[in-house]
Chain A
Amino acid sequence: AQSVTQLGSHVSVSEGALVLLRCNYSSSVPPYLFWYVQYPNQGLQLLLKYTSAATLVKGINGFEAEFKKSETSFHLTKPSAHMSDAAEYFCAGGQGAQKLVFGQGTRLTINP
């Protein structure tokens, strides 16, 4: 069965610093991969998705992620953190149809 693992339940960075949120997938077949962001008391908003068209995927709000098959990873990065980036981030994977399998989430805190 497919699984998605996010390393680090909490990540804290200074404003203006690099953001790196880690995600690894476990699947014999590379899945479709997604990063979602959740602000307090809101639903999930799609940041970006990988569907095999390109390994480097650019998303909204300056985020991007690189699919690395050799490392089974899909880490999320942003060159310069902003206070408004503070939220919870979820990596998710899907194969074929149906459901998404989510990682446990990473809470990102931005220090002024």
Chain B
Amino acid sequence: GAGVSQSPSNKVTEKGKDVELRCDPISGHTALYWYRQSLGQGLEFLIYFQGNSAPDKSGLPSDRFSAERTGGSVSTLTIQRTQQEDSAVYLCASSLRALSTYEQYFGPGTRLTVT
């Protein structure tokens, strides 16, 4: 079946602009995760959803970052007033349930470049 998909695959934006990154999880997966991968920081957790609720937003680096999930499916990560330090690959993952026993399946990522 189809895996996790993310769009766009690449995004170049100017500093100060807002961007939206989209994630389509595997059908039937109730949990959805966002991570950020950057050279200096490695792979960092941002936020996760169980259904449409986000019990853990502890990884969001600032209030410029927000995410939502609708219909228990698609999720959008929004970065407002982008800064150069936001440049990274944003990875989305989904799993059957929000439990560590269930493996997370990752999408190919969105490479964000802020100029």
Contacts and interface: CB of A to CB of B under 8 A. Distances in A.
Contacts, number: 58
A100 B45 contact: yes
B103 A46 contact: yes
Interface residues of A, number: 26
B56 A98 contact: yes
B100 A45 contact: no
A25 to B, nearest CB: 12
Interface stretch (B63-71, B72-80, B104-112): B104-112
Interface string A66-78: 0000000000000
Contact of A99 (B33, B107, B108): B33
B26 interface: no
A90 B100 contact: no
A87 B104 CA distance: 19
B59 interface: yes
Q: Which of the four size classes fits the interface of chain B? A: 20 to 34
A94 B93 CA distance: 14
Interface string B28-60: 000001010000001111001010000110010
Nearest to A32: B100
A63 interface: no
A97 B45 contact: no
Contacts of B109: 43
B98 interface: yes
Given A44-B91, A45-B106, A46-B105, A97 B43 contact: no
Nearest to B109: A43
Contacts of B45: 99-101
Interface of A: 31-32, 34, 36, 41-46, 49, 51, 90, 92, 94-105
